[in-house]
Amino acid sequence: MKITIIYDNETTRDDLQPDWGFSCLVEVRGEKILFDTGADGDILLSNIKTLGIDPGIVDKVVISHAHWDHTGGLDDFLGKNRNVALYIPSSFRLRSDAAREIFVVTGPVEIGEGVYSTGELQRIEQSIVVKTEKGPVVIAGCSHPGVGDILSAAGAHGDVYGLIGGLHGSTEFEKMEKLGLVCPTHCTVYKAEIASRCPDTCVEGGAGVVINLPD
């Protein structure tokens, strides 16, 4: 599995634009899944181009929740490639012809081989869970339902190995300390605290960061 952070509040490269929001590309078992689309379509597409990603290779798009900083780039992305299967939470309204297929997610659902949605937890937000050799890895948009609830839902697929994405104001540090990988991004309030508590397992986020794990 390869995860490329496309859109984040911070950037690791001078040629990428930082902005409030989140998006990443998940490449696993031959599929390309775009998770969230940031706040601004121009920035999203600019960063995609700079990273050498062809929008046309994306097979599926997953929207974590309806907030603008995760959905703002969607229309512009679909303007480049609407031949995708789009997975949206039921709280997000979208016209029915926006993409090739639209799946409205409420409960847990399989998105691809070894890739699952937690379902729309607390009717707010879905995260995705990707099975890897090291265990399931969770990718979250903002973790509004709470890190504990997200990890509990992801635990249906095995002992969770990693957590990547926005963690908002979560102080569930003990749960993070048990993981083999934590990459706090976007809206995470306590990045420094997480890095301090997880010195060997915390990976700094930011646009341009690439995380590779064996499928």
Instruction: Per residue of the chain (215 residues), give pLDDT as tens.
Output: 999 999 999 999 999 999 999 999 999 999 999 999 999 999 999 999 999 999 999 999 999 999 999 999 999 999 999 999 999 999 999 988 999 999 999 999 999 999 999 999 999 999 999 999 999 999 999 999 999 999 999 999 999 999 999 999 999 999 999 999 999 999 999 999 999 999 999 999 999 999 999 98
Number of domains in the chain: 1
Closest by CA position to 157, among listed 180, 183, 125, 134: 134
Q: What is the CATH number of the domain that holds 51?
A: 3.60.15.10
- Residue 127 and residue 157: Cα distance in Å, rounded? 13
The two three-digit tokens of residue 175, written as one number: 């749960």
In sequence order, which ranges of 115-157 are alpha helices (DSSP H)?
Answer: 147-154
**pLDDT number for residue 215:** 86
**pLDDT number for residue 89:** 97
Which residue segment(s) compose the domain that 13 sits in? 2-212
**pLDDT number for residue 183:** 98
**pLDDT number for residue 44:** 98
Closest by CA position to 23, among listed 34, 14, 12: 34
Helices and strands, number each (H, E), in the chain:
6, 13
pLDDT in tens, 114-169: 999 999 999 999 999 999 999 999 999 999 999 999 999 999 999 999 999 999 99
**pLDDT number for residue 43:** 98
The two three-digit tokens of residue 153, written as one number: 């839902």
Q: Indicate the pTM of the whole model.
A: 0.97
